[in-house]
Amino acid sequence: MTEHTKDDQPAVIDLENPELYINRELSQIKFNERVLHQALDERHPLLQRLLFTCIFSSNTDEFFEIRVAELKRQIEFGQEKVHADGLSPTKVLKLISDNYHPLVERQYQIFNDIILPELRKRDVLFLRREEWSEAQTEWIANFFNESVMPVMSPLGLDPSHPFPRLVNKTLNFIVELDGKDAFGRETGLAILPAPRSLPRVVRLPDELCENGGDNLVFLSSIIHAHAADLFPGMTIDGCYQFRITRNADLEIDENEEDLANALRSELLSRRYGDAVRLEVATNCPDELVDELLKRFNLTEDDLYRVDGPVNLSRLMQTLSLVKRPELHYENFTPSLSKALKQSVKNNIFDEIRKADRILHHPFESFTPVINLLMAAAKDPNVIAIKQTLYRTGENSDIVKALCEAARNGKEVTAVIELRARFDEEDNINLASLLQEAGALVTYGVVGHKTHAKMMLILRRENQHLKRYAHLGTGNYHSGTAKLYTDYGYLTANDEITYDTHRIFQQLTGMGKIQKTKKLLHAPFTLHKGMIELINHEAKNAEQGLPAKIIVKCNGITEPKIIKALYKASQAGVKIHLIIRSMCSLRPGIPGVSENITVRSVIGRFLEHTRVYYFENNGHPKVYGASADWMERNLINRVESCFPIEPSKLKKRIIDELDLYLQDNCQSWELDTDGNYTLNTPAEDQEEVSAQSHLLTNLALSS
């Protein structure tokens, strides 16, 4: 890669060279592959390994609904965008097909040849039709007649019944028929959509489980067994599962006067966007597959033949159906510091005023965040609460506290991002709920999703206003706080809370850019600020001063950031990137990135923290943020980035970053070619799992 001049001096390397960048879609596929690999890791409980195959399916669904759909849209409208890697959408689609087909085949091999047999050894049986006992067959027939058949609508195909519009990601069957129906029609084909309201896995009653274990039956098997009941007098020559994936990205005119109503109408169309993928059972005849491809305007590259249920992601419910502790992770209790425990009885504002707090979820409890808001809702001295909401989950305690605060006469302002993908409908309902309680609700800024995680509380103390803030790397969602790793920062620091106030003013009002002293915020100062911090490390390295960068986030694809990292590496800065999923940077290129390492940690919890560390000549700067180093975060969203300044908290975060860099059990190393290798401890090395260490030393110590 390095070029030389005639006198053998290194030439300036063109950092715009597409060979220096990894395509983001192909990098995302590599992440999904690492997720699938977890299904093979025997350190995970067996049902968790099953769950990883389901998560792989869910990730794949979204990849096709959003990324593949966008590439197809660009090609259709002649708007092909070529990114830093130099690959056209047409080329990327071909590479996606080449990479994903063997990956899906591997998924079903793992499911059929490893997971199901291992579950069977432990008396968790997914029963095939030929295995049903007489009593089970009778029970299943009754279940079909009482719970399935009444809600099914078989659709014969003839001139008066054209091919139906099938909902995105639903289970369907194409049925070959022989004979004439009651009206004398001889159609030959019918479509059976499986109602979305029905569970995809049915647990048989304990008294019918002859082995004393858990007997489960796929809904698809039940429908197969009784399909003839839906076509009385006809002969079924074949019945085959299929599933269509559609474009699920919403296109909203953000200049609409009523964004909520615009979204409501657009949400209906999400179910029927253009088809982007067809999954079909391997035993489906070629002529029927060709018919389906034709109907959905798809090609062979868009076809995925699967040896098993076409909707594996819906098997997640198995974890709640099988109550076997030995097949699940052991429960744990997130820790809560003594001071924060006492603050529930005493005054949480006093505790935050005494010292800033860092919470590392899920190892440490999310409860203090909820308690802070609940205390603010009741406290007569609190006069105002401001909050951003991106994803909150059902029956959210955060939302309940905001509603209570509004009813208690507090000035509650909620900045709700209606366009949070796949949560749009929930957020529309959330906005209505808060408005009914008396809160002021805004929808952020036109053209920029509000992705910042900020809570601000204004409290009257000694005839003055005191501000308290919570700033986070993850959503205000108590469910994901148990499954995702995230940092939350509780502070009463005057400069940080004032900056937070100014960002809220900018979000809800009109005016010029609000200058901040401590916080960086996108789309205004975060991108520029990060590049300046990277460049500062490069200058220190050139002067022989200590220089190092550690970044932990979910993705890095922004070309200018990558270019700045390449230059810093060339200057001698040691750079360690802990990137969960997409990474467009190529490490280890001589003369460019030999000082950069990239690793990805995949384990029980979804790594979600965004932390940036800069050595700064022995005076480290550490930031937490809501933003990844991607174009959408740094340029097209409202994001917050906050400094962690107390030395004790700063040291703790640095130590935890070092722990992730030492992980040799669940970490994967990225090479120059874009491939990942699982790290394993050498014979003389101790096993280090960052998540296990934190679970033991934080959560289990409570």
Q: Are strands 637-643 and 449-450 parallel, antiparallel or unpaired?
A: parallel
* CATH fold for domain 521-699: Endonuclease; Chain A (3.30.870)
Confidence of residue 160 (pLDDT cuts 50, 70, 90): low
Over range 434-454, report the average pLDDT: 90
Dist. CA 163–CA 165, nearest whole Å:
7
Confidence of residue 393 (pLDDT cuts 50, 70, 90): confident
As to burial, measured by CB atoms within 10 angstroms (0-12 exposed, 13-18 middle, 19+ buried), residue 39 is buried
In this prediction, residue 2 carries a pLDDT of 47
Dist. CA 615–CA 448, nearest whole Å:
32
* pLDDT tens digit sequence for 663-702: 999 999 999 999 999 999 998 899 999 999 999 998 754 3
Which letter, b or e, does each residue of 533-564 get, where b requires 16 or more Cβ atoms within 10 Å of its Cβ?
bbebbbebbeeeeebbbbbbbbbbbbbbbbbb
In this prediction, residue 77 carries a pLDDT of 87
To the nearest whole percent, how much of the chain has pLDDT over 70? 92
Dist. CA 347–CA 466, nearest whole Å:
15
Beta strands in 273-334 (DSSP E): 275-281, 303-306
Instruction: Return the SS3 of 409.
Output: coil
Over range 154-179, report the average pLDDT: 85
* CATH fold for domain 338-512: Endonuclease; Chain A (3.30.870)
Q: Which of 8-22, 30-44, 418-432 has the lowest mean pLDDT?
A: 418-432
In this prediction, residue 700 carries a pLDDT of 55
**Is residue 375's pLDDT more than 70?**
yes
Confidence of residue 265 (pLDDT cuts 50, 70, 90): low
Q: Please tell me which residue, 258 or 211, carries the higher pLDDT value.
A: 211
Say if CB 547 and CB 619 are below 8 A apart.
Answer: no
Over range 25-32, report the average pLDDT: 98
In this prediction, residue 249 carries a pLDDT of 81
Q: Which of 3-17, 317-331, 447-461, 545-559 has the lowest mean pLDDT?
A: 3-17
Hey, which residues does 449 pair with through a beta bridge? 637
CATH number for the domain whose boundaries are 20-327: 3.30.1840.10
Is 448 assigned a catalytic role? no
Cα 37 off chain centre by? 17
State the residue for tokens 């605060």: 405
Over range 479-505, report the average pLDDT: 96
Nearest CA among 173, 314, 698 for reference residue 485: 698
Instruction: Return the SS3 of 100.
Output: helix
- DSSP element (H, E) containing 316: none
**CATH topology agreement for domains 338-512 and 521-699:** yes
* pLDDT tens digit sequence for 94-142: 999 999 999 999 999 999 999 999 999 999 999 999 999 999 999 999 9
- DSSP element (H, E) containing 37: helix 24-37
In this prediction, residue 701 carries a pLDDT of 45
Say if CB 110 and CB 40 are below 8 A apart.
Answer: yes
Contacts of 31 (CB under 8 A, 6+ apart): 59, 580, 581, 582, 600
Dist. CA 446–CA 60, nearest whole Å:
30
Catalytic residue among 451, 470, 521, 608: 451
Contacts of 161 (CB under 8 A, 6+ apart): 155, 187
How confident is the prediction for the chain on average, in pLDDT?
A: 91
In the chain, what are the domain boundaries? 20-327, 338-512, 521-699
The greatest distance separating any two alpha carbons of the chain, rounded to the nearest whole angstrom, comes to 90
* pLDDT tens digit sequence for 186-225: 668 999 999 888 999 999 999 998 777 899 999 999 999 9
Hey, which residues does 623 pair with through a beta bridge? 612, 643
In this prediction, residue 21 carries a pLDDT of 98
